[in-house]
């Protein structure tokens, strides 16, 4: 699996946009970028995924650079409930398992 | 609610004992995955089953085994338990359709070995 690099932790003020970066310089052409989050000891929650184009859903936006070597997850209006560990994962479309790294611990500050 | 159901939610048992954790995948999902998360540790992939067959194996100890039944539910069996086996065990499932297979996780089973 391709490796990802994420900051260990980040802070964001409540109500502001939280921008979480991820580097995946060895990503292959058919591999997707997935984002999950884990709110303290709960099951990991799927957020969004993308291949080449930017994606948006009700939870977040995913911006993937043109060379696909990095991406940014954007939570547009962070709330205290968004405090969690966020995992950026690169996964081949036909390889089912997900391998988690250490992720980014995001603290939303009141 | 992801649709993945795990039982029991909490379990306390003694060293040397054996326990079984149960997982019901989302309706229609053919793949089931098991993960372990120890205190302050990351999520470790243990094993994956697809439609009853073992598909991928990760860091699963020989004392642990799993199976997926014809109704697609899965069980993770942990035997000769040690204190270090205390952890959160997550089950996940995916539809395993061609292309993108989003994996959805249950809320986990807390295992405490005393």
Confidence of residue A1 (pLDDT cuts 50, 70, 90): low
The pLDDT of residue A95: 64
Say whether A10 sits in a helix, a strand or coil.
strand
Average pLDDT taken over every residue of chain A: 93
A49–B88 CB contact, under 8 Å: no
Q: How many CB pairs under 8 A join A and B?
A: 57
What is the pairing mode between strands B10-13 and B109-113? parallel
Range list of β-strands (E), chain A: 9-13, 18-23, 31-38, 45-50, 55-56, 61-64, 70-75, 84-92, 104-109
Average pLDDT over residues B17-30: 96
Say whether B84 sits in a helix, a strand or coil.
helix
Beta bridge partners of B53: B50
pLDDT one-digit tens code per residue, A62-92: 999 999 999 999 999 999 999 999 999 998 7
B90–A43 CB contact, under 8 Å: yes
Confidence of residue A44 (pLDDT cuts 50, 70, 90): very high
Separation in Å, CA B42 to CA A15, A38, A104, B18, B66: 29, 11, 12, 24, 21
pLDDT one-digit tens code per residue, B90-105: 999 998 666 667 899 9
Instruction: Give the count of beta carbons closer than 10 Å to the beta carbon of residue A9.
Output: 11
The pLDDT of residue B41: 76
CA separation for the pair A74, A34 (Å, rounded): 13
Confidence of residue A27 (pLDDT cuts 50, 70, 90): very high
The secondary structure element, H or E, covering residue B89 is strand B87-94
Q: The tokens of B15 are what?
A: 């060293």
The pLDDT of residue B39: 80
The pLDDT of residue A2: 56
Average pLDDT over residues B26-55: 92
Q: Considering CB atoms only, which of B43, B94, B107 is closest to A96?
A: B94
**Percent of chain A predicted with pLDDT > 90:** 82
Average pLDDT over residues B43-56: 94
A44–B90 CB contact, under 8 Å: yes
């Amino acid at each position: 699996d391709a490796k990802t690099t994420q900051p260990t932790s980040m802070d964001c003020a409540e109500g502001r946009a939280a921008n979480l970066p991820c580097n995946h310089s060895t990503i292959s052409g058919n591999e997707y970028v997935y984002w999950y989050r884990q709110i303290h000891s709960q099951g990991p929650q799927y957020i969004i995924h993308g291949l080449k184009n930017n994606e948006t859903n009700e939870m977040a936006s995913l911006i993937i650079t043109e060379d696909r070597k990095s991406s940014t997850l954007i939570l547009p209006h962070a709330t205290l409930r968004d405090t969690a560990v966020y995992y950026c994962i690169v996964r081949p479309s036909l390889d089912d398992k997900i391998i988690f790294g250490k992720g980014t611990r995001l603290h939303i500050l009141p | 609610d992801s649709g993945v159901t795990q039982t029991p939610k909490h379990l306390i048992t003694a060293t040397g004992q054996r326990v079984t954790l149960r997982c019901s995948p989302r309706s229609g999902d053919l793949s089931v995955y098991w993960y372990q998360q120890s205190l302050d540790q990351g999520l470790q992939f243990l094993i994956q089953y697809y439609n009853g067959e073992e598909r991928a194996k990760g860091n699963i100890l020989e004392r642990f085994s799993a199976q997926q039944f014809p109704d697609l539910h899965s069980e993770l069996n942990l035997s000769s338990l040690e204190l270090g086996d205390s952890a959160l065990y997550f089950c996940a499932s995916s539809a395993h359709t061609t292309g993108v297979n989003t994996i959805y996780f249950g809320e986990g089973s807390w295992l405490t070995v005393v």
